[in-house]
Amino acid sequence: MGAVAVRTAGRCGVRRSARRGGAVCGGQHGGAVCGLERRCDTVGVTLLEDLARAVPADGEPVVLSTRRGVLVLRAGDVVVKAHRPGTGEADLRDRMSIAADPLLSEILVPPMGPLRRIRDRWVTVWPAGRPVDPAGHDEVPWADGARLLARLHALPIASLATGPPSAGGPARVARAVAGLPDGNPAADQVRQAYEVLPGWARGEADALTGPRHRALVHGDWHLGQLIATPGAGWRLIDIDDLGVGDPVWDLARPAALYAAGVLPPADWETFLGAYRASGGYALPADGDPWPRLNVPAQALAVQLAATCVATAAGEDRPLDEDETALVRACGRIAAMSARL
């Protein structure tokens, strides 16, 4: 294969669709969703070359993502992912086994081959697919994503050949806040909102001690975690946070974006309605969903805002409209807690 080309998703994972106005988050298995060029300065060139050699396919290797220590490379119809440093081997092996389980064949994209070690990274190989179109030329698959999540949540955990680890969602919130810059007023607002979250939503305790519900959850769901596979329709990707947890966590990012004014009401209603119509386990079939959604949505608002603030500071630029909306949502979270 030739030299490695770099085409990575940009900013903090929140970007509006050009046609629909919906928030589209960076994906991995099909192409750069945001399409913003960026220097590949977070991973070593040697690791890139080693991954390119490991891709079992023809075609020019292209870097799709280097965000937050994760490196994703595509060549032809194959995607190779170098997981972030410190990823636990045992949990990753369990998650790969679950993704390969025939019970999830119509929900998750299965891995191609075993877990590998390349230098200091655990590496997985996956089939490529077509990601959600950020330009909005195609219908944004909010309903398809909701139906896949409902099916995932309904799967009996005891039926799996491999017992899943705990889902990684709350730990992501803590990692995002830990990466905030000092001496930044927006970062201070995000930290204040983080401090008023309950401990289980900050990853400080077992995430199952707070919620009442248990299910197999994706753990980091957004539109970038969907790809269309040939002849099979939409499937979920990215197993890094797959595990046992509160299924409402998988609905929290769209809920947070809606509450912050980033996701249009029509898109939120489409997503929520499709999840409920599919018998989604995380929410009551009708009535007000926010008693269940509120804390996880607040946690995801904090996570997204923290990532946006850190990214903007690292790029030495002001926050954009959507990023500012998320920081303002954090201000409301902190202010509401102060009034209670």
Whether 269 and 177 map to the same domain: the answer is: yes
* Structural domain total, the chain: 2
Domain termination residue (choose one: 76, 108, 131)? 131
Q: Could you say which of 90, 110, 131 is where a domain stops?
A: 131
Are residues 250 and 289 located together in one domain of the fold? yes
Amino acid 339: pLDDT: 61
Q: Provide DSSP, 34-91.
A: S-------SS-HHHHHHHHHH--S-S--EEEE-GGG-EEEEETTEEEEEPPTT--HHH
Contacts of residue 62, Cβ cutoff 8 Å, sequence gap at least 6: 4, 5, 6, 7, 73, 74, 75
φ, ψ at 116 (rounded to 5°)? -125, 160
Residue 118 backbone phi and psi in degrees, to 5: -125, 115
Tokens 């890139």 belong to residue:
48
Structural domain that includes position 39 = 5-131
Largest CA distance in the chain: 60
Residues 333 and 191 in one domain: yes
What CATH number is associated with residue 319?
A: 3.90.1200
In a domain? residue 70: yes
Structure tokens belonging to residue 178: 């830990």
Q: Which residues of the chain have pLDDT under 70?
A: 1-45, 54-58, 136-137, 205-212, 338-340
* Residues 147 and 123 placed together within one structural domain of the fold: no
> Which residues face 75 on adjacent strands?
78
Strand-pairing partners, residue 40, are none
**Which residue type is seen at 93?**
R
Reported as a single tens digit per residue, the pLDDT across 277-312 is 999 989 999 999 999 999 999 999 999 999 999 999
**Residues 273, 217 share a domain:** yes
Containing H/E element for 148?
helix 142-154
d(CA 11, CA 309): 10
* Domain-located, residue 307: yes
Cα–Cα nearest to 326, from 275, 255, 276: 255
Backbone angles phi, psi at 195, to 5 degrees: -65, -25
pLDDT of residue 107: 97
CB 151 within 8 A of CB 218: no
Asked whether residue 136 is assigned to any structural domain, the reply reads: no
Residue 100 lies in a domain: yes
SS3 130: strand
Same domain, 152 and 124: no
Query: Could you tell me if residue 28 is inside a domain?
Result: yes
Q: How far is CA 172 from the centre of its chain?
A: 10
Give the pLDDT confidence score for residue 44 in this predicted structure: 53
Of 234, 33, 228, which is closest to residue 134 (Cα–Cα)? Answer: 33
Q: Does 137 fall in a domain?
A: no
Instruction: Please state the length of the chain.
Output: 340
Residues 6+ apart with CB under 8 A from 168: 219, 220, 240, 241, 242, 243
Among the listed residues 26, 152, 170, the one whose alpha carbon sits nearest the alpha carbon of residue 95: 152
Three-state DSSP at 235 gives strand
- Whether 217 is in a domain gets the answer yes
Radius of gyration of the chain (CA): 19
Tokens 């929140």 belong to which residue?
A: 14
